[in-house]
Amino acid sequence: MQPFWLCWALWALPLAGAGVALTEERILGSLLQQLHLHEVPVLDKAAVEGLVIPVHVRAQYVALLQRSHRAHSREKRFSQNFREVAGRFLLSEASSHLLVFDMEQRLPPHSELVQAVLRLFQEPVPKAALRRHERLFPRSDRARVTVQWLHVRDDGSNRTSLVDSRLVSIHESGWKALDVTEAVNFWQQLCRPRQPLLLQVSVQREHLGPLASSAHRLVRFASQGPLGTGQGEPQLELHTLDLRDYGAQGNCDRKAPGTEGTRRCCRQEMYIDLQGMKWAENWVLEPPGFLAYECVGTCQQPPESLTVKWPFLGPRQCIASETTSLPMIVSIQEGGKARPQVVSLPNMRVQKCSCASDGAPVPRKLEP
């Protein structure tokens, strides 16, 4: 088995811009960016009118069009339930622990994860060892606890991803909480989701160097009571929201009464007329327009107990959680002549609307 620390990764970026409405300026900006242009090109109308789109260009455009209807990109969707999963120490050394959690049927259907919390019991340091450490390192009493998600690939190799890291004091004892939401998100992306969740917990020096404190050797996570009682075994708390109450309802019902302010979050039709945009004349050859859709309505807010527990989460908003690209055929100038070119603009069509909390992290995609 290879070492657990094969790969490090950064925490996900916060959700941003997912609810921005599709505007003429946004379409134009995306098109200029894809073509690496700073301004709209000036094209001769007569040259464009006589332009014939070759078969291979039209075939490329149609292929992208078909692909955009099949594939989509996911933003963060949110799902409040709470359940606790007991784990066990699969392997435990002086400053390293391998934890295993059986996750089968732990996440209820029609729900999504809000937060996963790992709770470990930190044993009190014996007084003699504490006095000895204070004599040697009077100003250093902390160690760094790091949690990584361990992925065992089909070929037997290992890969780890950093999910949380924080400092703990050797003067404290009791249950410590670490955020392992991203580890559970990674686990959900596996082709074999029924395999257990593996977490690598390591205790390291607060600072590096030959004179660094050895406080990390005094931090131990183990069972609180006698062996076999399980009173101090690692615990995994899973907090979810039921999408039937806190999610979106799909496409908007045109016949349903109510305004956008009272309607439950849904996807509403919105047609973008490219032919009616002045800058698109003589430039955009296909399509003449497209059905983009938009997300409208309101989302039910979680109970006050949840907002107090996670104050960094803003109000839940109706956003585009799944989008597809928009293929286009545009005319470009080369050597004084116009020729057609296929370009694809990302995130132009809304496929699905969801309710999400502003400020919540977007889960990273699991790399091979």
What's residue 17's pLDDT? 41
Of 104, 78, 105, 118, nearest to 300 by C-alpha is: 78
Between the CA of residue 239 and those of 24, 33, 180, 337, what are the distances in Å? 40, 40, 12, 60
| Whole-number Å distance between alpha carbons of 11 and 177 | 17
pLDDT band at 192 (very low <50, low <70, confident <90, very high): low
Strand partners, 298: 264
| Whole-number Å distance between alpha carbons of 296 and 318 | 6
pLDDT averaged over every residue in the chain: 76
In tens, the pLDDT along 130-181 reads 888 878 777 788 888 888 888 887 787 888 888 888 888 888 888 888 888 8
| Whole-number Å distance between alpha carbons of 274 and 340 | 17
Share of the chain above pLDDT 90, in %: 2
List all residues 6 or more positions away from 196 whose beta carbon is below 8 Å from its beta carbon.
Answer: 100, 101, 102, 103
Range name among 301-310, 315-324, 342-351 with the lowest pLDDT average: 301-310
| Whole-number Å distance between alpha carbons of 169 and 134 | 13
Question: By the 8 A CB rule, do 245 and 299 touch?
Answer: no
Average pLDDT, stretch 340-358? 86
What's residue 158's pLDDT? 84
Between the CA of residue 154 and those of 145, 158, 161, 195, what are the distances in Å? 29, 9, 17, 12
* Alpha helices in the chain, H assignment, sequence order: 24-34, 45-49, 55-70, 127-136, 181-188, 243-246, 304-309
Residue ranges covered by each domain of the chain: 24-77+247-357, 81-242
Average pLDDT, stretch 192-219? 78
What are phi and psi for residue 330, nearest 5 degrees? -120, 160
1.10.10.60, 3.40.50.12280, 3.90.700.10, 2.10.90.10: CATH of 24-77+247-357: 2.10.90.10
In tens, the pLDDT along 93-115 reads 567 888 888 887 778 777 778 78
What are phi and psi for residue 256, nearest 5 degrees? -70, 135
Average pLDDT, stretch 289-314? 76
Q: Given strand 235-242, what is the order of strands in its sheet?
A: 81-86, 235-242, 111-122, 174-179
Residue 5 has pLDDT above 60, yes or no: no
pLDDT band at 368 (very low <50, low <70, confident <90, very high): low
Q: Which two tokens stand for residue 271?
A: 């047609």
Range name among 33-37, 231-235, 272-276, 341-345 with the lowest pLDDT average: 231-235
Helix (H, G, I), strand (E, B) or coil at 213: coil
